[in-house]
Amino acid sequence: MWQLVRRQHGVISREQLMALGFGEEAIEHRLHRGRLYRLWKGVYAVGRSEVSREGLLMAAVLSCGPHACVSHHSAGWLWGMVEWRDRFDVVVPTGVLRRRPRIRVHRRLGFATEGRSRVRGIPVTDPVATLIDLACELPDPLLERAIREADRRDLFDPETLRTTLDDTRRRPGTGRLRSVLDAPTFALTDSELERRFLRLVHRANLSSPRTQAWLNEYRVDFYWPALGLVVETDGLTYHRTPAQQKEDRLRDQAHTAAGLTVLRFTAFQVNFEPERTITTLKAVASRLR
């Protein structure tokens, strides 16, 4: 029993206890003596009432039946795509009728054939299915951030995700996720400043640049190979100290020595002088062409 409890983050179900030889009286005795603590109907914390977030998610799955798994926002948290939310999402096949306090139960036709996985031993929808579910409830900026986090954690890359969507059974979320990936301003950027700059690139009618590319032993924010143009966006967080400014100069000199044109835009220019930024981009791109 203790091996199972450790694997399940401190929780166990009534069915599992009975399969291990515990009768009804033995379970009730342990509940009365404080050795078991009821979390949901038929699911208990063992030894203490407090359990981790992983334990709560595991308990939520156990309470919803043998085919249930974590989904939607809860699955996004397990995969590291989104922040924690004090609510539990579980998906089950249609026909499973379960209602539990604080658990949002999703019933889905064809769920048995969908991709599923395990994270830290907890049954969960796979990364693609999780993002499709998130596309039903997250606004565009948060959905884009979730895609970037999934890419950063090597769960998939956006190109593979886009191809997979074409072969995925259509259901709520697939169309919206596809449209976000196909948007001209979507790219794998590291900051909100860089995402805002991409919108200006689109308004300037420039082609989409490579983002976070490695050039001359440095990673650059934006790179147009056909133009030989490098653009860096300087937020205050990473460009305020003398040492950081010196590093920026060395980067620019390395690119210039390699025959590239380097432009830098500050956060103020991107946020509060967008028309001037667009005019500069157009003029430099025209000259380089």
* % of the chain beyond a pLDDT of 90: 56
pTM of the model: 0.68
- Kindly report the number of other CB atoms within 10 A of residue 219's CB atom: 12
Distances (CA, A) of 161 to 70, 128, 132, 144, 178: 20, 7, 10, 13, 9
Last residue of a domain, one of 183, 216, 234: 183
Q: What was the pLDDT predicted at 239?
A: 45
Provide the domain count of the chain: 3
With 0-12 / 13-18 / 19 or more C-beta atoms within 10 angstroms meaning exposed / middle / buried, residue 12 is buried
Q: What was the pLDDT predicted at 112?
A: 62
CA nearest to 26, candidates 44, 40, 49, 10: 44
Name the band, by pLDDT with cuts 50, 70 and 90, for residue 265. very high
Q: Are residues 105 and 35 in the same domain?
A: no
Amino acid, res. 125:
T
- 170-201 residue pLDDT tens: 888 888 988 888 776 676 666 778 888 999 99
Q: Are residues 206 and 284 in the same domain?
A: yes
Q: What was the pLDDT predicted at 23?
A: 92
Here the tokens at position 225 are 């190979």
- 213-244 residue pLDDT tens: 889 989 899 999 999 999 999 865 444 567 77
CATH number at 231 reads 3.40.960.10
Rounded to the nearest 5°, which phi and psi values hold at 88?
Answer: -115, 125
Q: Are residues 61 and 169 in the same domain?
A: yes
Q: Are residues 177 and 59 in the same domain?
A: yes
Domain assignment of residue 27, given as a range:
1-51
Question: Is the per-residue pLDDT at 25 higher than 50?
Answer: yes
Q: Are residues 131 and 71 in the same domain?
A: yes
Angle at 222 between CA 183 and CA 149, to 5 degrees: 60
Last residue of a domain, one of 32, 51, 70: 51
Helices marked H in 20-153 — which ranges?
A: 24-33, 53-63, 72-79, 127-134, 140-152
Here the tokens at position 58 are 């595991």
Name the band, by pLDDT with cuts 50, 70 and 90, for residue 268. confident
Rounded Cα–Cα distance for residues 171 and 91 (Å): 14
- Kindly report the number of other CB atoms within 10 A of residue 167's CB atom: 6
Rounded to the nearest 5°, which phi and psi values hold at 7?
Answer: -65, -30
- 29-79 residue pLDDT tens: 999 998 999 999 999 999 888 899 999 999 999 999 888 999 999 999 999
Strand, coil or helix: 155: coil
Q: Are residues 136 and 159 in the same domain?
A: yes
Q: Are residues 14 and 58 in the same domain?
A: no
* Contact present, 72 and 89 (Cβ < 8 Å): yes
Beta partners for residue 102, in sequence order? none
Question: Is the per-residue pLDDT at 155 higher than 80?
Answer: yes
Q: Are residues 166 and 81 in the same domain?
A: yes
Which helix (H) or strand (E) is 3 found in, with range? helix 2-7
Last residue of a domain, one of 126, 151, 183: 183
Q: Are residues 215 and 241 in the same domain?
A: yes
Question: Is the per-residue pLDDT at 158 higher than 80?
Answer: no
Q: Are residues 230 and 258 in the same domain?
A: yes
Q: Are residues 62 and 163 in the same domain?
A: yes
Q: Are residues 243 and 262 in the same domain?
A: yes
* Contact present, 232 and 269 (Cβ < 8 Å): no
Amino acid, res. 37:
Y
- 106-140 residue pLDDT tens: 988 766 667 789 999 999 999 999 999 999 999 98
